A and B are shown apart, each in its own frame.
Chain A
């Protein structure tokens, strides 16, 4: 028990902070923060597997998050029949061509000995393949994008329940990680960071500009939800009864019937949004707990020991007969798949897919700050990092505003410096996060909750 004391204290402080937000700001906001904290926690678990367990730097978290989000669109949106009929066949042929290119390259690599001729052959296959792809896809893309461009203009998805997309997101992200890992994992640490960062940018720019796939920057809105809709809740009698029971004390104080009805209506509206968010919280919490149990088990299994051995001394682990390359690839795929789940969860939570919002600042660097602040190599630490940093990220602006008002209270309302500072309050979040990272790196480089190695 004693060894977990710091973990328990840290989490208690964190939950107290969120409850304070609920008391002082609103419960709806507190739950929004909590939900995002949980999503961030899933991302940090993924990043922590790669960095904490194996020492791999993945600055491409943004790309995997975006792919997870794409999975939600591809799985849950109803298929657009008209688009499929005008362009579906050609796009399927394109898919076939891509598979053909991959296999013919693999075949060439296997059958022909390493030579200049082979390089030219591969280049020729790729160039011919791309020309073929453009030839087949160009008319199809044009006609798909012409189908009701204001509403659809894309192929749509499979129309399945949205929870499937979380798994699909994991597979999509894992698939990309397999390709990236195959080509980039041989690089030295900081080059891997740059390469993954740039590959993520490529992925996001493809999602942004291929409108036939997921409408690109035109966004997909109104995605399915695994939770009830507020508007339906507000009309269902059982929910109104529940709210009435919950607030019976408060309602009993009001005498006039019409006023009572009005108050009740307001309460129902508030409660419905809280209820929906609670549903999401439950789902997210389930994912976090399952992942936590699995990763904890893995960390203290023989496999986890091997990963740590590889991280701490690659050559020694290699000499002991461990396949370093294969394990690195495996852990790269696993971590990225978890990030993919988080990406799908986030889009499900928001109910909309906005490719334009994927920026490295928010989806790569902030996640990394979470992992480092929380504690690398410690799952509880990584999750805590997700909570703390997300909390800071959201609450930095109000806190900064409070301090600005405090320190400039002696200045008149119209003072230029005061007005300017109040307008720039949102940017203090960068300052807070950056300073937090620098302070932690300097004075507690192992994070708030350091890695713990249990020896038995």
Chain B
């Protein structure tokens, strides 16, 4: 019995939150890695682009709510995703047209493009703050919990309850759907194959008649979908605040590099590696050990490896270690 309780504690406070957070990071990391692999630059505007898409979802949610449209037990934000994605893709394509295209045609070094993306970051941040302001916003409605701790306790008669928030289930489910469609597209369709070819060797791809404009267009479309979905899921689960999205860029970068930059599947797994490391290393295991250890051995400290203040520092340290010992990432990416 105690053993099941211990497992439940872990599930509740580490595994389920880590899976959720990992899914959100994974979507962002695939976005980073696609831009890096195909457009060949580190996009420092990642966090703010995600925030931009989410902003539309938030505004549309408020609008729909005022019209009285909702999805019942599901959050209204889900129906706003397609529209928000559309706006996001439009924004990305216009940014590409007016800013990035010039440097791509000139074949500027990646560093210069990264610098340009810093400029895009500033501008995007300004637009977001002018439109929606820097305040913290929650836009979650509908049923909050799928399974409440008290219900679970009644059902099973255990000491520990299992809580599953609806946002956690939605996040994991939608991530799986989006990511599998994307991998199917990249691996099984002709356009996807041509994108991979372009990423592997640009000259050979051009030689074999792949249209670079089309590849770039499709890349931004996929990027727009990933950014918006990732941003909205994060916003639903926590809350929407532009500054936090900018900060999220850092663990997202860490996930992309840990997974081997340029390798979408690596980025996907990298998101979970970072999320699990962050949560496992900063969780206080006291309750867990009180269940599994005999009473005599019960711990009296918090049994916490690192204070939660260092959550971000964990992912960065992992990144630094990976960069030092395996610079191409855990799952072979582009060589550095």
- Do A and B assemble together? yes
Footprint of B on A, CB under 8 Å?
57, 183-184, 187-191, 193-195, 197-199, 201-202, 205-206, 208-209, 361, 365, 368-369, 372, 421, 423-424, 427-431, 433-435, 437-438, 441-442, 445
* Contact A187 to B323, CB < 8 A, known contacts A194-B42, A209-B310: yes
* Contact A184 to B123, CB < 8 A, known contacts A189-B110, A198-B250, A372-B115: no
- Assess whether B130 is in contact with A438, with CB atoms less than 8 Å apart: no
* Contact A437 to B122, CB < 8 A, known contacts A209-B309, A427-B130: yes
Q: Which residues of chain A have C-beta atoms less than 8 A from B250's C-beta? A: 197-198, 201
* Contact A361 to B246, CB < 8 A, known contacts A187-B327, A187-B336, A438-B123: yes
Q: With the chains together, A126 CA to B118 CA distance in Å?
A: 37
Q: With the chains together, A255 CA to B116 CA distance in Å?
A: 62
A-contact bits for B243-278, CB 8 A (1 contact / 0 none): 000100010011001000000000000000000000
> Closest chain B residue to A430 by CB distance?
B126
- Assess whether B122 is in contact with A430, with CB atoms less than 8 Å apart: yes
* Contact A424 to B313, CB < 8 A, known contacts A197-B250, A368-B118, A435-B123: no
Q: Which residues of chain A have C-beta atoms less than 8 A from B44's C-beta? A: 365
Taking the closest CB of chain B, its distance from the CB of A320, in whole angstroms, is 23
Q: Which residues of chain A have C-beta atoms less than 8 A from B319's C-beta? A: 194-195, 198
Q: Interface size (B, Cβ < 8 Å)?
A: 44
> Closest chain A residue to B253 by CB distance?
A194
Q: Which residues of chain A have C-beta atoms less than 8 A from B130's C-beta? A: 421, 424, 427-428, 431
- Assess whether B42 is in contact with A193, with CB atoms less than 8 Å apart: yes
* Contact A209 to B307, CB < 8 A, known contacts A434-B123, A437-B122: yes
Q: Which residues of chain A have C-beta atoms less than 8 A from B307's C-beta? A: 209
- Assess whether A441 is in contact with B119, with CB atoms less than 8 Å apart: yes
Taking the closest CB of chain A, its distance from the CB of B273, in whole angstroms, is 15
Q: 17 more A-B contacts (CB under 8 A) besides A190-B111, A193-B114, A199-B320? A: A190-B41, A191-B257, A195-B323, A197-B250, A198-B320, A199-B316, A201-B313, A202-B312, A208-B309, A369-B119, A427-B125, A427-B126, A430-B126, A430-B129, A431-B130, A437-B119, A438-B119
Q: With the chains together, A188 CA to B114 CA distance in Å?
A: 13
A-contact bits for B297-336, CB 8 A (1 contact / 0 none): 0000000000101101100110110011001000000001
Q: Which residues of chain A have C-beta atoms less than 8 A from B313's C-beta? A: 201-202, 205-206
Footprint of A on B, CB under 8 Å?
41-42, 44, 99, 102, 109-112, 114-116, 118-127, 129-130, 133-134, 246, 250, 253-254, 257, 307, 309-310, 312-313, 316-317, 319-320, 323-324, 327, 336
Q: Which residues of chain B have C-beta atoms less than 8 A from A208's C-beta? A: 309
Q: Which residues of chain A have C-beta atoms less than 8 A from B309's C-beta? A: 205, 208-209
> Closest chain A residue to B318 by CB distance?
A198
In the complex, 23 of the A-B residue pairs with CB atoms within 8 angstroms, ordered by the A residue number, are A183-B324, A187-B327, A189-B110, A189-B111, A190-B42, A198-B316, A198-B319, A199-B320, A201-B313, A201-B316, A206-B313, A209-B309, A361-B246, A365-B44, A365-B121, A369-B118, A424-B130, A434-B121, A435-B122, A437-B116, A437-B122, A441-B112, A445-B112
Taking the closest CB of chain B, its distance from the CB of A211, in whole angstroms, is 10
Partner of B336, one of A188, A209, A438: A188
* Contact A431 to B127, CB < 8 A, known contacts A190-B110, A365-B122, A372-B115: yes
Q: With the chains together, A427 CA to B102 CA distance in Å?
A: 27
- Assess whether B102 is in contact with A442, with CB atoms less than 8 Å apart: yes
* Contact A434 to B119, CB < 8 A, known contacts A187-B327, A198-B319, A427-B129: yes
* Contact A365 to B118, CB < 8 A, known contacts A188-B336, A198-B319, A201-B313: yes
- Assess whether A368 is in contact with B123, with CB atoms less than 8 Å apart: no
* Contact A194 to B122, CB < 8 A, known contacts A205-B309, A424-B129: no
- Assess whether B320 is in contact with A433, with CB atoms less than 8 Å apart: no
Q: Which residues of chain B have C-beta atoms less than 8 A from A437's C-beta? A: 115-116, 118-119, 122
Q: Which residues of chain B have C-beta atoms less than 8 A from A427's C-beta? A: 125-126, 129-130, 134
Q: Which residues of chain A have C-beta atoms less than 8 A from B133's C-beta? A: 423-424
Q: Which residues of chain B have C-beta atoms less than 8 A from A187's C-beta? A: 323, 327, 336
Across the A-B interface, the 6 shortest Cβ-Cβ residue pairs: A434-B122, A431-B126, A430-B126, A434-B123, A427-B129, A437-B119
Q: Which residues of chain B have C-beta atoms less than 8 A from A191's C-beta? A: 42, 257, 323, 327, 336
Q: Which of B99, B118, B310 has the most CB of A within 10 A?
A: B118
> Closest chain B residue to A427 by CB distance?
B129
* Contact A202 to B323, CB < 8 A, known contacts A190-B41, A193-B42: no
